[in-house]
Structure 1
């Protein structure tokens, strides 16, 4: 694995366990056993590292949505909840977007813009999936689609944070199951 990839992997780990402001370029350099100046060869700044992370997350998310595109809406939502549950099982990690959102006010304008773009991609996918579910009659017909998309996003972000605080992932699994049941037809 090359140094750039290893640096991104470490940054991803630190973001999901400590938050974006919880680590520095020096933290990553030390973990890699290289000088901080050497890390600047790959990323001009921590902002550039954060933008690279967001780009990777966006790409991975788009690949995931393509992989579940042919599933029913109900199955898509189950799969999404499963991803967050697994994340919570992995050392009580939180969603990268959630980690960045907690540090939103201290992010650069460029990072804020990229994070909002990523959030919009997730929200739009949920709106499409919820609309599909209503059309398939697997979700309640009177569902307020956009508000429910926001409710789901808030629930998964908050759910993994509560699971972290409690030191267990089962609360996330139970709450996501109840959320899906509450919107199902």
Structure 2
């Protein structure tokens, strides 16, 4: 693995576990086994690091959504697979998905990172809207009325559920927070 990838991997883990403001370049220096000057070589500022993290994460998440679409034919199956992405990211209450971790510290992020985070949320909301539109025709999600509103509400519910699971230091808070959404999948 190259140094830049190792820095991104470790920074993502730390941001998801501690929050973006909860680690420093010294933490990355220790984790990767390089000098702090080498960290700065790859990422001159922590803002540059946040942007690189979010660009990489957004692409990975978009790829996962595409894989869900390709492998699940019903709206309900897609919704349940989507919920599982967030469940896995919670890591039993030890972590948050990167988008939630960065959203919590948005004011400390540069505009480029905030713009990428906004685009991430737009992409996910559009994907969820397509899922709820499919549900109107396949009937596998109960009580769908406005796919766009449903998508925005589902994203807010799942990201909020992540925070609840993290606060509870376990999956029970997450599961309780998504239970009404999960129950609608037929």
Aligned to 1:149: 151
Distance 1:174 1:45 in 2: 39
TM-score, normalising length: structure 1: 0.90
Deviation of 1:98 after TM superposition, in Å, equals: 0.8
Out of 49, 65, 88, which is 1:86 matched to? 88
Aligned pairs (5 A) from 1:27-176: 27-70=27-70, 71=72, 72-90=74-92, 92-140=94-142, 142-176=144-178
Range with bigger deviation, 110-119 or 27-36: 27-36
The CA deviation at 1:125 is 0.7
Deviations 1:39-89 (A, max 9, x none): 122222222211111111111112112212132111111011111112223
Measure the CA separation in 1 of the matches of 2:92 and 2:142. Answer: 33
Q: What's the CA shift string for 1:130-153, capped at 9, x where partnerless?
A: 111112122346522222212211
Counterparts in 2 of 1:139 and 1:106: CA distance versus 1, 3 Å: same
Which deviates the most, 138-147 or 11-20? 138-147
**Conserved in 2, the CA contact under 8 Å of 1:92 and 1:169?**
no
How many pairs does the alignment contain?
Answer: 184
List per-residue Cα deviations over 1:122-179 (Å, max 9, x = no partner).
Answer: 1111111111111212234652222221221111111121111112103323432321
User: Which range is displaced more, 133-142 or 10-19?
Assistant: 133-142
Structure 1 spans left out of the alignment, 5+ residues: none
Cα gap change, 1:91 to 1:162, in 2 (>3 Å): closer
Shift of 1:91: 5.1
Distance verdict in 2 for CA 1:142–1:17, change over 3 Å? closer
RMSD, aligned CA:
1.8
